[in-house]
Every structure is written in C-alpha cells, then in structure tokens.
Amino acid sequence: MTHIEIQRRFSDLDPLGHVNNVAYHDYLQEARMGLIGTLDAVVNDDYAQIVVSQEIRHVKPLGYSRQPVVIEARVTDMARTSYTIVYRILDEHGDVAAEATTRLAVVDTVSGRPMRMPEDLRERLLAAI
C-alpha cells in the first residue's frame, strides 16, 4: 500500500467550507500518479493506461486544514486488460473521509483498443498489491 500526502488548496473549498466533490477526483489522480509513478509504470511507447471508471463514496466532509490529506492506494483485481486501484482518503486526524475505486484499462497507443497487459507492467502492478 502506498501513502500519498496531498495539500488542500483554498480553491478546493465550496461555499460551505467543505472540499468540493470535484476536488476529490483531483486528489485521486494525484494519488494514482504517485502510485503508478513509484512503479515506473506511467509512460510507455507501446501502451497507455486510461481510466475506465471511478467511484467515490463520501464518508464525512473534508474541511480546510493546513495538514495534508493522506491517501492510501493499492492495486487490486487484476484482469487480462485492466486493473483496479482502491483508495482510502484520510483527514488530518486519520479518519476515513472517503473510499474510492478506479478501474484502468491498458490500451494500444496506435489503435486505442484494449490490449493484453504486458507482462512487465503486470509484474510491477503485482508489487503494489
């Protein structure tokens, strides 16, 4: 499991002083890139990784704090052409503010069609389970 710290920005807040739901997607993107980046699996000329779906379940609101949000991220549910990352978004007290999943597909960079996950990518992702 990877832990990624993300600073909340004042612009993330809605009129009620809570982190806007759209900002959660930005936080997840940062966490995803942090996780995949540690595996050296972000950029490749032979294939790309695209988000197929993303789901967030909000548990409690995040307010503004100078303390970072901590996102726990790990890879689960690997298939032939895709995999899932699960996340827990923790507030400054370590309480779960949200849980989320992102399904990513591996696609051919020329055709844009799903392709069998290359073995080197599969091995790197297995290390993050």
108 vs 45 pLDDT, higher one: 108
What pLDDT, on a 0 to 100 scale, did the predictor assign at position 43? 65
pTM over 0.75: yes
CB 99 within 8 A of CB 57: yes
Domains of the chain: 2-126 (3.10.129.10)
Residue 15 has pLDDT above 80, yes or no: yes
- Cβ–Cβ contacts within 10 Å for residue 90, how many? 19
- Name residues whose C-beta falls within 8 Å of residue 42's C-beta, 6 or more positions apart in sequence: 33, 36, 49
* Long-range Cβ pairs for the range 15-24 (8 Å, 24+): 17/63, 17/64, 18/61, 18/62, 18/63, 19/61, 19/62, 19/63, 19/64, 21/56, 21/58, 24/56, 24/58, 24/89, 24/98, 24/100
High-pLDDT (> 70) share of the chain, %? 98
Considering only 3-17, 26-40, 48-62, 92-106, which range has the smallest mean pLDDT? 26-40
State whether the Cα torsion 57-78-114-42 is positive or negative.
positive
What pLDDT, on a 0 to 100 scale, did the predictor assign at position 115? 95
Distance CA 29, CA 7 (A): 13
Q: What is the mean pLDDT of residues 89-105?
A: 97
42 vs 1 pLDDT, higher one: 1
pLDDT band at 87 (very low <50, low <70, confident <90, very high): very high
User: Average pLDDT, whole number, for the chain?
Assistant: 93
